[in-house]
Amino acid sequence: MCGVSAGAALFLAAAAAAEPAAEPSVRALRVSGEIRVDGRLDEPEWAVTPKASGFRQREPGEGDPATEATEVAVLYDDEILYVGVRAFDHEPDRIIARILQRDAIIVDSLDGRARFAGDDVVALVLDPFHDRRNAFVFATNPNGAEYDGLITDESPAYNTDWRGVWEVAARRTEEGWSAELAIPFRTLRYPAGEGPQTWGLNVERMIRRKNEQTLWTAWRRGEGGLHRISQAGSVTGLSGLPRSRLNLEVKPYGLLGLTQERRDDGTIPGERQASIGLDAKWEVRPGIVLDGALNPDFAQVEADDEIVNLTRFDLFLPEKRDFFLENAGIFDFGARGFFEPPPFLMFFSRRIGISDDDEAEIPVMGGVRLSGRAGRQTVGFLSVLTDAAFEEPRTNFAALRLKRDVGASGYVGGMLTDRRHRHDGETDAGVDFSLWPTPRLNVTGFGALTSAYAGREADKAYRLGAEYRGDRVWAQAQHLLVGPHAETGMGFVTRTDIRRTDGFGQYTFRPSVLDLRQIEVFGGGLWTTRVDGEKQDGQGFVGTSVEWDSGDGLSAFFEGGFTQLDEEFDLADRVPVPVGRYDLRRVTLFGRTSPNRRMGLSLAGSLADAWDGRVGQLEVGPRVSLGTHLTTGVTWTLSQADLPGGSFTAHVVGLRASWAFSTRLVTRAYVQYNSLERKWITNVRLYFIHRPGSDLYVVFNDEQGEEEAPGRLINRGLAVKATWLIRF
């Protein structure tokens, strides 16, 4: 821990505290007439209301005026907040707009950060409580495609799974394009009171053909970005905002289906499904929302990706079930990995309703979640009851999360989790913090205690880390300890009995030759021992990454070191790797074409001397966008291992195709083949928003093939699920 403290001190000494600039502000205008949401902005109120303008570049020229002007205005009436955008463009014929489907204009990148996809986009954040940490995200493109999400604690990874009820319309014009967003106040959470309110606001525009990012504020590369809510501007003039008498939403669902699943005796009986359930949402007080679910069903969830595991650790698969995704960021506690599974998380929602052994679904009987803000506190409580299944007893899962604001965007907090059934239970607790001594320096840490359970002793885990991110320099360091018995009842722990110290540093060059935008040179390493000091891992790495103005990019790095393996494991569940000390060397390459291209390609490959043999993997992902309706993409992953204990070659192929009939009607197909297990998995979904907040799904799932019997039907199902939103 001393090394991390010294590193943090160096960061503090290097980080100059700049004087905060005056917060830009725009005034909203209350209107009494009708505002038609058609993207034209032709009502007279749009002409007279103040505009947010003067956007500056984050890329490519930090702080330079935007090459194309953007104006944003805000109106409101007794029910709706309207945001009008004029995105001027000197070459309107070159505007890129290929996406129609919802939540596709912003995507997650390899490092987990939200990135713009291949279109021109305008995105805005609203921070109604002006807490400078949390916000709603709304975005659209010239086609009027919808995107919404949540930002929690200024995380650069948006929670796309929040679904708001709102409308947007956009259209191209001779001057560029324009958009109108209509967001009902009932969709948002904001402070009580009839008096004037000030909300946080920021707007970002992507001009895709130029790969130019411009923002109203927070445009600095070092401490900026749309997710930095503490650097946002504000919208004033809001007063007398509506408050529903009940503020209650009820969303019943009905489901009909037919399933087939192979039994141990080889029979494949068909079973009819018919179920109903209910989701409800009640704003208990301004900013605090109580969610409830009775007999929830997750038939519409997309299948997990097939992955050949070339590590000795468990795979970390993402959560995809709606009930656990909304406000999920509130329950984050621990250390998330960077290109690796998280070392320690106290809460991982896939431990609820999914069996640990074979990822089979355990029925969720119901649950409640209370989340939101009260003053300077963020609160979260979750309780879910699962039924008995797969030798698991009926179990209640509960989590309590509290955070208290510190400074402009920091917090101190605590968490308590409890997993309990009739015979036993386990409770884990911890405290954590995230502090910003300067806008570029973030110091974080946590301490956790895990309880004794099933003969296991109580134990502890803790972490202290610091990260400094500027335009040219990015550096981070951390020290992590996970005790020998620090298993959690509701979390994810990659590895116990470790004491790990690691660091990373990067410098960015911005040459003005050969159309280069930036060249990054980076390096770092880690040292891991057991808690008693016995050596486990030592690793160092160096690399470089190049990005062109076109948006194309290429990265390469080399890593080398050693590992002491104290327990044997099976690589990809088939090739034994015995106990011993192993030298490790790996070369990795990443490449990608710009997302603004109609046809694109991503490439990732690695070759390693590992486990006294050779291990390699190559992933190729071509994609084609054919107009605004059809999008296709293929991923092919080749995995090979040649070790003393055996060898294998595996191909995993995935085909994704989507057809967007409109912004509210989309069909998607995802077909996967895993040659190692000779398995085919097919998932086809038709998704229709038949009215705002109400959905219709038609889902077909099919799994065929086993290693010893290719083509054998394992399970198959067809389900039709409809939901209706009722507001009181």
**Poorest-confidence range of 6-10, 413-417, 459-463, 634-638?**
6-10
Domain with 75, as residue range(s), is: 2-238
- Listed in sequence order, the residues at least 6 apart from 564 whose beta carbon sits closer than 8 Å to its beta carbon are 534, 535, 536, 537, 580, 581, 582
Band (pLDDT 50/70/90 cuts) for residue 366 is very high
Q: Which of 215, 238, 261 marks a domain boundary? A: 238
Q: What is the 3-state secondary structure (H, E, C) of 543-579?
A: EEEEEECCCCEEEEEEEEEEEEECCCEEECCCEEECC
What's the whole-number mean pLDDT along residues 131-142?
A: 95
Q: Which of 291, 282, 361 is nearest to 326 (CA)?
A: 291
- pLDDT of 4 over the 50 cut: no
* Residue 301, in any domain of the structure: no
Same domain, residue pair 220 and 340: no
**Poorest-confidence range of 152-161, 481-490, 528-537, 546-555?**
152-161
Count how many Cα atoms sit within 13 Å of the Cα of residue 358 in the half-sphere of its side chain. Answer: 7
Supply 341's token pair: 């599974």
Same domain, residue pair 234 and 340: no
As a whole number of angstroms, the distance between CA 603 and CA 70 comes to 35
3-state secondary structure of 186: helix
Question: 505 with 520: CB under 8 angstroms?
Answer: no
Same domain, residue pair 39 and 154: yes
Helix (H) or strand (E) holding 323: helix 322-325
Q: What confidence score (pLDDT) does residue 2 get?
A: 40
- pLDDT of 122 over the 90 cut: yes
- pLDDT of 15 over the 60 cut: no
Same domain, residue pair 201 and 345: no
As a whole number of angstroms, the distance between CA 137 and CA 227 comes to 9
| Whole-Å CA distances, 246 to 242, 252, 286, 381, 727 | 12, 18, 12, 21, 9
* Residue 716, in any domain of the structure: no
**pTM for this model (two decimals):** 0.86
Question: What does the pLDDT look like over 325-364, one tens digit per residue?
Answer: 767 788 999 988 766 788 999 999 888 988 866 567 888 9
3-state secondary structure of 331: helix
Q: What confidence score (pLDDT) does residue 478 get?
A: 96
Same domain, residue pair 326 and 226: no
Same domain, residue pair 17 and 124: yes
As a whole number of angstroms, the distance between CA 542 and CA 523 comes to 4
Q: What confidence score (pLDDT) does residue 456 get?
A: 77
Same domain, residue pair 230 and 324: no
Share of the chain above pLDDT 90, in %: 71
3-state secondary structure of 430: strand
| Whole-Å CA distances, 561 to 76, 524, 581, 610, 616 | 60, 12, 11, 10, 17
CATH of the domain at 140: 2.60.40.1190
As a whole number of angstroms, the distance between CA 54 and CA 475 comes to 32
* Residue 680, in any domain of the structure: no
Question: What does the pLDDT look like over 668-714, one tens digit per residue?
Answer: 999 999 999 999 999 999 999 998 889 999 999 999 998 888 889 99
Question: What does the pLDDT look like over 638-669, one tens digit per residue?
Answer: 999 999 999 999 999 999 999 999 989 999 99
- Listed in sequence order, the residues at least 6 apart from 290 whose beta carbon sits closer than 8 Å to its beta carbon are 281, 282, 283, 284, 368, 369, 370
Q: What confidence score (pLDDT) does residue 681 get?
A: 95
Q: Which of 444, 399, 392 is nearest to 419 (CA)?
A: 399
Question: What does the pLDDT look like over 454-464, one tens digit per residue?
Answer: 677 899 999 99
Amino acid at 115: R
Same domain, residue pair 78 and 171: yes
As a whole number of angstroms, the distance between CA 318 and CA 345 comes to 13
Same domain, residue pair 75 and 188: yes
Q: Which of 194, 215, 238 marks a domain boundary? A: 238
Contacts by 148-152, CB closer than 8 A, 24 or more apart: 148/103, 149/103, 149/106, 149/114, 150/326, 150/327, 150/329, 151/125, 151/227, 151/229, 151/329, 152/327, 152/329, 152/330, 152/332
* Residue 139, in any domain of the structure: yes
- Listed in sequence order, the residues at least 6 apart from 455 whose beta carbon sits closer than 8 Å to its beta carbon are none
Same domain, residue pair 330 and 192: no
* Residue 512, in any domain of the structure: no
* Residue 244, in any domain of the structure: no
Same domain, residue pair 196 and 333: no
Q: What confidence score (pLDDT) does residue 502 get?
A: 94
Q: Which of 496, 529, 559 marks a domain boundary? A: 496
Highest mean pLDDT (candidates 335-339, 486-490, 718-722):
718-722
Share of the chain above pLDDT 70, in %: 95
* Residue 699, in any domain of the structure: no
Question: What does the pLDDT look like over 516-570, one tens digit per residue?
Answer: 999 999 999 999 999 999 999 999 999 999 999 999 999 999 999 999 999 999 9
Same domain, residue pair 226 and 324: no
As a whole number of angstroms, the distance between CA 37 and CA 171 comes to 11
- pLDDT of 55 over the 90 cut: yes
Supply 568's token pair: 């044997």
Task: Report how many domains make up the chain.
Answer: 2
* Residue 639, in any domain of the structure: no
Residues forming a β-bridge with 544: 521, 556
Average pLDDT for the chain: 90
3-state secondary structure of 40: coil
Torsions phi, psi for 229 (to 5 deg): -65, -30
